[in-house]
Structure 1
Amino acid sequence: APRGSVTDVRHEGMRGLFDGSLCLYVHTNDARAITEAVHFKRDLGIERMAIVGGYDAYLVADLLRENDVAVMLQSVHSLPRFADDDVDLPFKLPKLLMDEGLTVALQVDKRMTEMNSRNLPFYAGTARAYGLTEEQAIQALTRNPARILGIDHQVGTLERGKVATMFLSEGDALDMRTNSLTHAWIEGRDIDLDNRQRQLYRKFQTKYGAEVLDAPR
């Protein structure tokens, strides 16, 4: 900037929207609002945009694909928004959008986000049961969100040179019946998987005796 000029920090903070270094996240489920957001992106020359929520995105999928707008679907385990929707429409949305060639990620940006984060793998499992392939379901949790966030050069896939952030499960990680996390690493650091629930189990197992806690109910 010229000497003595004043920088508008509000505008400066948005500079990355026009050079592709930042992504604009628009939180909406409504088809009309999604359409307006895409027109806004196109008119202002914004490089990257993602719709967060996106329940009605399948109704305007062509517009989203033509303008390279990704969708971050909210809780797959939800009831339909409208009374005349298919009861299983929320479960089918990932397939409907991926079949249209859209980049789709699954996320839990809704009520009780922290608690529901543990169910995120099972959202992908449900989407798999309703049409996604195994690879597509995994990509909705790994590669696709990394691409949307602009960090896919570091994480999102298992490749030489990328950050070692991953986990191991004894069973199917997308199936709540067999998911059993055994190891996890973040940037190569081994993560302690112990938690308060396990600590309390051990505490009261010692207090009351394993034969009581392990008895069939």
Structure 2
Amino acid sequence: MQGKIPAVITANNAIDILSALRLAEEFSFKLILDGAAESYLILDEIKKSGIPVFLHSMMSRTKNLSYDTPKLLNENKIQFAIQSGYESYVPKTRVILFEAAIAAANGLSFEEALASISINPAKILGINHKVGSLEVGKDADIAVYNGDPFEYTTHCCFVIINGKVYESECK
């Protein structure tokens, strides 16, 4: 509650999200909304709060989930990131590129979808001075693909981790 580390509160329905926002305001702590499946229903309240959002996997099939949520958050200038995992297991939910691809297929631009899994989470977590984008002086682990990384048939050709190249068979 000292404000050094944000509290991450998982809230999916609009009432729970509003409760989390009220708690953060009442007790003056930094908050990150986690899940936020019904955030599209209360965009004005979230925008007014300035609180960022980590969206859960679209495959989690949370009640009242909307595939338009990433686009709507972006259009309303609400800081958000897409995550791949959540509390339960559903096949394919841990594929972060797939999650960004779903957002792109539903109105988010390629650049915005890429930012939602790279620089946006780094900014939300306050570590964008070290990671999240390719800039001089930052840590840079890079994956290079033979096409659009959001296409399911695209292959990773190689990755660079801590300056070392790890090659893969790229067809």
TM-score when normalising by structure 1: 0.70
Post-superposition Cα deviations, 1:111-166, rounded to whole Å, max 9, x if no partner, equal 2279632x210111111111001110000100111111111111111111111222
Count of residues in correspondence between the two structures:
168
**Corresponding residue for 1:206?**
none
Q: 1:132 aligns with which of 96, 101, 108?
A: 108
1:111 corresponds to 2:88: yes
Residues in 1 aligned to 2:163 and 2:41: alpha-carbon distance in whole angstroms: 42
**Corresponding residue for 2:32?**
50
**Corresponding residue for 2:63?**
81
**Corresponding residue for 2:16?**
33
CA RMSD of aligned residues (A): 2.2
The runs of 5 or more residues in structure 2 that have no matched partner are: none
Contact 1:77-1:91 within 8 A present in 2 as well: no
Runs of 4+ aligned residues of structure 1 deviating over 6 Å after TM superposition are none
1:187 corresponds to 2:170: no
Higher relative contact order (CA 8 A, sep 6+): 2
Higher-Rg member (1/2):
1
Paired residue secondary structure (1:55)? coil
The runs of 5 or more residues in structure 1 that have no matched partner are: 1-13, 83-88, 195-217
Contact 1:75-1:123 within 8 A present in 2 as well: yes
Higher strand share: 2
Higher helix share: 1
Residues in 1 aligned to 2:110 and 2:134: alpha-carbon distance in whole angstroms: 16
Contact 1:166-1:186 within 8 A present in 2 as well: yes
**Corresponding residue for 1:71?**
53
TM-score when normalising by structure 2: 0.88
